[in-house]
Structure 1
Amino acid sequence: MRQTLKAIDALNKLVGIAVAMILGVMSILIIMQIIYRIIGYPLHWSEELARYLMVYLVFLGSSLALRHHRLVAIELLPELVSEVNKKVIRITVMVICIVFFVLLLVQGIDILNRVSVQSSAAMGLSMSIPYAAIPVGAMLLIINAVAVILETIVSEKLPPAKEEGL
């Protein structure tokens, strides 16, 4: 099980690099869009590309957030029960999430097949490229939910939900 977790974490490092690159490209693209609008030559394709990059950023980033227990959660019930029951609750929640992610994957593939003949307005890009974020993200969410389940099973004590100070 630990080897599986290491493999998933290695995949997540690649996803993290992709997220950082997408965020960087998106930031540069938006800055360019502002500059070009100021000088009177707007980039007609930049807003569309930034939107598609944002969709990928959300799906890829949410899979990383799930793995590192950074998603918004209500922790009231787990705080009131024993360590064993905390594990049962976390595994149950992850199984329910996996069911949802599988539905998201199936529907995402269905949508992908429907939009493959369409192209985007500004760039002429096949709409299957932006819509591929749904099944790709769903697959990564499934993988990371399985990792959380495996981590819960092998760990003696659950890692706490990470809190960020403002």
Structure 2
Amino acid sequence: MSVDHKALETEALESLDPMSEVPKLQGLLGRLIGWVDTAFVTLAVLALVTLSVTVLLQVVARLFLPFSLSWTEELSRYLFIYMVALSAGAVLRRNRNVSVELFHHLLGMRAKAAVQAVICLAIGIFAYLVLPYAWQYAQNGAWQTSPTLRIPMLYIFFSTVVAFALLLVYSVLGVIEGVMAVLRPSTAEQES
């Protein structure tokens, strides 16, 4: 893909998302967050690929083998759960949540940043309140194992802890970026 084509694609995607104008953290911290994003997105993609292979294996086994593989449905369910949990933070950071954008395109950059900060604050408060209960829920699985794979359900239920912890961390980042963008002097103020 050429550089010009990639730049046009990025510009088109950003024009579809009015909240993308809010600047992200830069420097060493921004790069570190980018690496963490990449790690979690890579894990989520690996879960998706493994999920696809598992479902394909299940279909092939049902069509061509005299027996079905009972563990494939269970594994695909757990992979789907972890795929969602691992990608929750990156989805929030990239403003890819399902949202209603009735007025965002009418707002200036500071107003968009303020909206982002408020939304991330609400999500962060919710994640903070739910996180202890997610941990209690995960601990309930310590005494159970999955029916077919015999995996301790603690590992499966722990996906709720992962999801809410990532949402909490990424919502704090969203609030920080939103507040910094609101407080940043405008270009007109910098020129005078």
Q: Per-residue deviation at 1:8?
A: 1.9
Paired residue type of 1:147 = L
TM-score, structure 1 length as denominator? 0.85
Residue 92 of structure 1 is matched in structure 2 by 118
Greater mean deviation of Cα atoms: 98-107 or 22-31: 98-107
Q: Per-residue deviation at 1:80?
A: 4.4
Residue 7 of structure 1 is matched in structure 2 by 32
> What CA distance in whole angstroms lies between the structure 2 residues aligned with 1:103 and 1:30?
35
Q: Is residue 126 from structure 1 mapped to residue 152 from structure 2 by the alignment?
A: yes
Query: Unaligned stretches of 5+ in structure 1?
Result: 158-166
CA contact (8 A) 1:104 1:134 kept: no
Q: Per-residue deviation at 1:133?
A: 0.6
Q: Which has the higher contact order (CA 8 A, sep 6+)?
A: 1
Q: Per-residue deviation at 1:137?
A: 1.3
- The number of residue pairs the alignment matches comes to 157
> What CA distance in whole angstroms lies between the structure 1 residues aligned with 2:126 and 2:78?
23
Query: Unaligned stretches of 5+ in structure 2?
Result: 1-24, 186-192
Q: Is residue 63 from structure 1 mapped to residue 69 from structure 2 by the alignment?
A: no
> What CA distance in whole angstroms lies between the structure 2 residues aligned with 1:5 and 1:147?
10
The one-character-per-residue Cα deviations of 1:9-31 (angstroms, maximum 9, x if unpaired) are 21111011101111111111111
Q: Which of the numbers 83, 87, 100 marks the counterpart of 1:74?
A: 100
Paired residue type of 2:123 = C
Residues 129-144 of structure 1: matches in 2 within 5 Å?
Answer: 129-144=155-170
> What CA distance in whole angstroms lies between the structure 2 residues aligned with 1:41 and 1:12?
41
- Partner of 2:143, secondary structure, is coil
Q: When you count helix as a share of all residues, which structure comes out higher?
A: 2
Q: Per-residue deviation at 1:79?
A: 4.0
Paired residue type of 1:125 = I
> What CA distance in whole angstroms lies between the structure 1 residues aligned with 2:129 and 2:179?
25
Q: Which of the numbers 16, 23, 28 marks the counterpart of 2:41?
A: 16
CA RMSD of aligned residues (A): 2.0
Percent identity between the two aligned chains: 22
Residue 161 of structure 1 is matched in structure 2 by none
Paired residue type of 2:176 = L
Larger Rg: 2
Q: Per-residue deviation at 1:74?
A: 2.0
TM-score, structure 2 length as denominator? 0.74
